[in-house]
Structure 1
Amino acid sequence: MRLVVAKCQVDYAGRLTAHLPLATRVIMVKADGSVLVHADGGSYKPLNWMSPPCTLRESVGDDGVVEWTVAATKSDDTLRIRLEEVIHDSDHELGIDPGLQKDGVEKHLQELLAEHTTTLGPGMSLVRREYMTAIGPVDLLCKDAGGSVAVEIKRRGEIDGVEQLTRYLELMNRDPKLRPVRGVFAAQEIKPQARVLAQDRGIECVVVNYDELRGIEDPSLRLF
């Protein structure tokens, strides 16, 4: 990775045009060829960027100022960076990144909810994890006094998850050995739009507390 801190002017041309006036910014050139221009603010999102595949060409104008021209390979988009003053320029070998390891991902939630099915409702018991259907596996197949229950588990419950569970339910309710099958949509957070859609389709929403499931929540930290 190449890191450059410079007073620069940036112009993007192509499907849209954008201009960044002269200011001090951080420019990142990654090993995959992408070029990103960051300011000291605005969280993680760059002010402008060019995604790979692209090429970077450095040139020096008649006024002695270095200019980068970053051109997209598959389009006419260009990112031009005029480096009025370079404050820092360095290269770093980062190596292969092992990837982000999240705590509380869907797999862990599934394992915990399989052990604590009553969290999903009274009298709920586990039949099988990863119950396979013709279009993919349902996270949990459970049962209660009312019959079979298909449980779809997400970290963040959105409309796509409700649609996914709807398709599972349609297939599973064709099986005379399972039907009637109702659905439970379980997540650490459920978006309002997803909740409305789920209720419209007769699917129950359950918000689960990951820390409680792990048995590590500290009651002294609660406000109520």
Structure 2
Amino acid sequence: MRLVVARCQIDYAGRLTAHLPMATRVLMIKADGSVLVHSDGGSYKPLNWMSPPCKLREGVSDEGVVEWTVTSPKTDDTLRIVLEEVLHDTFHDLGVDPGLQKDGVEKHLQELLADHPATLADGLTLVRREYPTAIGPVDLLCRDADGLSVAVEVKRRGDIDGVEQLTRYLELLNRDPLLSSKGQVRGIFAAQEIKPQARVLATDRGIACAVVDYDALRGLDDPSHRLF
């Protein structure tokens, strides 16, 4: 990973346009090919970013100012970063990440869905849990009734970040000829609760949403079905 602290101005052009005026920010260039722009506020979310894979070209503008141009080979999106002053620039080898250690409920939910994948979609069968990718493991890799691959991301509460995570997985999986030879790898976002914004984003990206009944999966009866 490369970390750069710099006074910079950033302009994004793609499905929409966005402008960040000159200020001191942290630029993260990750080994997976993503570029993220962070400020000293706004919690963990970047101010702007380019999803992997993308290409970073460093150069100098006509005005003699250092300029980075980040482009995506899959889209026309462009991130233009003008660096007025670089305060810090270092490289760090983080090695292979072991992946997120999920809490008991989410881990158990994943295990239950692995045992009963057809509860997510008719005819769905499990291929493998924790299917490895370059940016982390996919919770469940399944196959549907037509033999097409399906990636399932499991969360307790489904929000936009989970949809973004599954989107990144799908981008990688669809470049694997062994998985996508019969057709595009689909995604299912499974959670006990899915926020409306996450559902809208998932639908827009062609990702199916599945609300999971944890107690039903555990084999517990539904109190609403009792007479007494």
TM-score band by shorter chain is 0.5 to 0.7
Segment drifting more, 155-164 vs 28-37: 155-164
Residue matched to 1:58 = 58
Residue matched to 2:167 = none
Residue matched to 2:3 = 3
Cα distance change of structure 1 residues 132 and 2 upon mapping to structure 2, 3 Å threshold? closer
How many angstroms apart in 1 are the aligned matches of 2:80 and 2:110?
48
SS of equivalent to 2:211: helix
How many angstroms apart in 2 are the aligned matches of 1:72 and 1:155?
32
Cα distance change of structure 1 residues 26 and 203 upon mapping to structure 2, 3 Å threshold? farther
Q: Which runs of 5+ in 1 are unaligned?
A: 112-129, 138-153, 169-180, 186-201, 205-224
SS of equivalent to 1:158: strand
How many angstroms apart in 2 are the aligned matches of 1:131 and 1:40?
44
Matches within 5 A, 1:154-193: 155-156=156-157, 157-158=192-193, 160-162=210-212, 183-184=221-222
Cα distance change of structure 1 residues 2 and 203 upon mapping to structure 2, 3 Å threshold? farther
Residue matched to 2:18 = 18
Instruction: Give, in angstroms, the shift of residue 163 of structure 1.
Output: 7.5
Instruction: Give, in angstroms, the shift of residue 64 of structure 1.
Output: 2.6
Instruction: Give, in angstroms, the shift of residue 131 of structure 1.
Output: 6.8
SS of equivalent to 1:5: strand
Q: Deviations over 1:74-132 (max 9, x none)?
A: 11110000000000000010110001112323344799xxxxxxxxxxxxxxxxxx578
Contact 1:104 1:155 in 2 (8 A): no
SS of equivalent to 2:67: strand
> Structure 2 length as normaliser, TM-score?
0.53
Segment drifting more, 97-106 vs 70-79: 97-106
Residue matched to 2:76 = 76
How many angstroms apart in 2 are the aligned matches of 1:53 and 1:110?
28
Contact 1:69 1:79 in 2 (8 A): yes
Matches within 5 A, 1:212-223: none
SS of equivalent to 1:95: coil
Residue matched to 2:45 = 45
Count of equivalent residues: 144
Q: Deviations over 1:17-69 (max 9, x none)?
A: 00000000000000011100000010111000111121110111243311000
How many angstroms apart in 2 are the aligned matches of 1:132 and 1:52?
29
How many angstroms apart in 1 are the aligned matches of 2:222 and 2:52?
41
Contact 2:5 2:26 in 1 (8 A): yes
Contact 1:182 1:203 in 2 (8 A): no
How many angstroms apart in 2 are the aligned matches of 1:68 and 1:92?
20
Cα distance change of structure 1 residues 5 and 183 upon mapping to structure 2, 3 Å threshold? same
Q: CA RMSD in A?
A: 3.8
Tell me which protein shows more strand as a share of its residues.
1
Residue matched to 2:94 = 94
Contact 1:37 1:48 in 2 (8 A): yes
Identity %, equivalent residues: 69
SS of equivalent to 2:3: strand
